[in-house]
Amino acid sequence: MKAYFTELFTGFWSLIVGLKVTLKALFSPIVTTQYPREKIEITPNYRGHIDLLKDPETGTHKCITCGSCMRECPSDCIVIDGEKREGVKGKVLTVFTLDFTKCSLCGACVETCPTGAIDYSNEYELAGRARSDFYYDLIKRMEERQ
Amino acid sequence: METLNSITPELIRIVMAVVGGVVIVFGNALVMGYLERKLAGHFQRRPGPMEVGFHGILQLLIDGVKLMGKQLVVPAQADKKLFMLAPMLSFVPVFLPLLVIPFSDKMQAFDLDVGLLFILAVAAINVLAILVGGWGSNNKYSLFGAFRSVAQNVAYEIPMLISLLAIVFMTNTFSLKGIVEAQNIWFVVLQPVAFLIYLVCMVAETNRAPFDLPEAESELTAGFHTEYSGMGFSLFMMAEYTNMFICCSIATVFFLGGTSGIPLPYFEYTGAIWFVAKVYLLMFFLVWIRWTYPRTRFDQLMNLCWKYLIPFSLVNLLITVVVVKL
């Protein structure tokens, strides 16, 4: 009989404690972000698809067209090409494309690059209507970027 | 002109009562649907509907249009007659209790001598509708939901009635208006145990969390209305919200003094403001506990009823009778 009433009162008290918890939550500020309207800062460690970095000194990329990223890529999604030009030492990069539909974001290309010309981007809004939306021309992307 | 002359004030009263009933049923479903989702959001520290209109205030209208535009799918193996009958059987009776609820001194369609019995009798049809819907769907989840609903409603009607009976013994009337007039002190002060028991039973009767076993999403997908789409579903939802309104109205009439409050001009009509405010306060409480407590197990549900609510309501009734007799 004693257990019956003890259970009743402890149970009832726990219900009131629960109500207090949710009432406090009701009057607390909201913690979610209204995504398309407001965006939160993304961590610099985020590993999106690769991008050519712009060297602030020369105003262009540091790629020497060695082709190690293309060879290293396990998914064969990078294609680069270069040409010899008059008066320029080494090769000049003419094509750097990434087929992001096949990329597995392993990062081997970034690891292997001898000059540190490529790095992960912070791009995360990656919706497209066609497969061709994910064939990135990284030289063009770099030139368009500020 | 002759037809106009033949319209009696009584007929006008009936028309107004019916129109008022329709307005309450649909308006309450809209307001409660919005409030429920908004409050659910804020209880979980998110904003709730925000896109349609100012702070999502038109969301429920859009949802209504969407539901009306949807096809009513009848499952191939379902009992088509019962399946189509159930939403209507659930929705139609919810108008009737509104006729005897005294919203203010003069805003009451009919003051029945047996108002309470009338409401409880009509409200019980909803159980039948759920059983018909669950059986007619020919779906195991629907059937389980319907069975649970019947067991739960039958069990919880007993303590609900006994706790209300204590009030009836104090006022000597079943008429809702008489009960409101008998309250010099609100009965929640004189009968706190009956009020608590009624609150618990009210949650169970309206099939809401933590007693929402008939439509337990995580166990039975959606219980008895699993197979319903479009208007079939929305009729069930509107019936549920109106049943909440009716149960809260009974609580207001029996325990919270009905229309009593700070006097306003034309109080025989404006008393309805206090009445509706009290009803919506109780509705807020229903939403509040829905987002606080997890769902009970079925044996816990039955234990609570038979081991706690019924003995306590009987003892409460006994004490009330003895005190009234003295």
Q: What is the pLDDT of residues A65-117, one digit of tens each?
A: 888 888 888 988 888 888 888 877 778 888 888 888 888 888 888 899 888 88
Contact predicate B320/B187, CB 8 Å: no
Into how many domains does chain A fold?
A: 2
Q: What average pLDDT does this structure show over B215-232? A: 77
8 A C-beta contact, residue B152 and residue B211 = yes
Same domain, A63 and A105: yes
On whether both A59 and A131 belong to a single domain, the answer is yes
- Please give the helix or strand (H or E) that residue A119 lies within, else none: strand A118-120
Pairing of strands A135-137, A91-99: antiparallel
For residues A13 and A59, state if they share a domain.
no
Residue with the bigger pLDDT between B2 and B107: it is B107
CB B160 within 8 A of CB B312: no
- Dig out the tokens for A80 from the structure: 């680069």
Average pLDDT over every residue of B209-224:
76
Q: What is the arithmetic mean of pLDDT over B172-187?
A: 82
**A19 and A63 co-located in one domain:** no
**Interface membership of B50 toward A (CB under 8 Å):** yes
Q: What is the pLDDT of residues B290-308, one digit of tens each?
A: 888 888 888 888 888 888 8
The pLDDT assigned to A146 comes to: 66
Q: For residues B248-275, give the mean pLDDT.
A: 80
Q: How far is A19 from chain B (nearest CA, A)?
A: 6
Average pLDDT over residues B142-164: 86
Q: Is the pLDDT of residue B214 over 80?
A: no
* DSSP helix/strand/coil, A89: coil
| Residue listed under structure tokens 């009584």 | B10
A79 and A113 in a common domain: yes
**CA dihedral of A86, A90, A96, A102, whole degrees rounded to 10:** 150
Cβ atoms of residues B183 and B121 within 8 Å: no
Q: Flag whether A121 is in a domain.
A: yes
If asked whether residues A25 and A74 sit together in one domain, one would say no
How far apart are the C-alpha atoms of A139 and A50, rounded to whole Å?
12
| Helix, coil or strand: residue B44 | coil
Q: Which residue of B has its CA nearest to A17?
A: B292
Instruction: Give A124→chain B minimum CA distance, Å.
Output: 23
- Give a yes or no: residue A44 inside a domain: no
In a domain, A69, yes or no: yes
Exposure of B54 by Cβ count < 10 A (0-12 exposed, 13-18 middle, 19+ buried)?
A: exposed
| Residue in A22, A31, A34 closest to B43 by CB | A22
Do the domain assignments include residue A40? no
The secondary element (H helix, E strand) that includes residue A135 is strand A135-137
Q: Closest Cα partner for B288 from B213, B199, B205? A: B199
Q: Examine the domain organization and report whether A134 and A69 are in the same domain.
A: yes
Which of B257, B158, B250 lies closest to B201 in space, CA to CA?
B158
Structural domain range at position A133: 50-144
Mean pLDDT of chain B: 84
> Token pair for residue A59?
């105003």
pLDDT, tens digit, for every residue of B17-53?
Answer: 888 888 888 888 888 888 888 898 888 888 888 888 7
* Residues A25 and A55 placed together within one structural domain of the fold: no
Whether residues B47 and A32 touch (CB distance < 8 A) is answered with: yes
Element (H, E) at A96: strand A91-99
Residue type, A106: C
Residue A41 maps to a domain: no
Distance CA B220, CA B212 (A): 11
**How much is the average pLDDT of B308-322?**
89
The C-alpha atoms of residue B270 and residue B103 are separated, in whole angstroms, by 9
Residue B1 has pLDDT above 50, yes or no: no
The verdict on A96 and A59 lying in the same domain is yes
Contact at CB, A30 and B289, closer than 8 angstroms = no
Quickly tell me which residue has 């006008």 as its tokens.
B12
Name the DSSP class of B223.
G
From the list B114, B79, B80, the residue with the least C-alpha distance to B97 is B114
- Through-space distance between the first and last CA atoms of chain A, rounded to whole angstroms: 78
pLDDT per residue over B76-101, tens digit each? 888 888 888 888 888 888 888 888 88
Q: What is the pLDDT of residue B7?
A: 66
Q: Please say whether the beta carbons of B34 and B49 come within 8 A.
A: yes
What pLDDT was estimated at residue A17? 92
- Within 8 A of A26 by CB-CB distance, chain B residues are 39, 42-43, 288
CATH of the domain at A128: 3.30.70.3270
Contact A15 B39 (CB under 8 A): no
Domain membership of residue A119 (yes or no) is: yes
* Domain annotation covers residue A3: yes
Are B264 and B104 within 8 A, CB to CB?
Answer: no
> Does B44 lie at the interface with A, CB-CB under 8 angstroms?
yes
The string of pLDDT tens digits covering residues A16-58 is 999 999 999 888 888 888 888 888 888 888 888 888 888 888 8
Same domain, A1 and A66: no
Asked if the C-beta of A8 comes within 8 angstroms of chain B's C-beta atoms, the answer is yes
pTM: 0.80
Task: Provide the H-helix boundaries in chain B.
Answer: 2-6, 9-43, 59-69, 80-91, 95-100, 115-123, 125-136, 140-171, 176-181, 187-190, 192-205, 217-220, 230-255, 267-290, 298-303, 310-325
Residues in A touching B41 (Cβ below 8 Å): 30
Predicted confidence (pLDDT) at residue B222 exceeds the cutoff of 80: no
Three-state DSSP class for residue A69: helix
Residue A120 lies in a domain: yes
B308–A8 C-beta distance less than 8 A:
yes
What is the predicted ipTM?
0.71
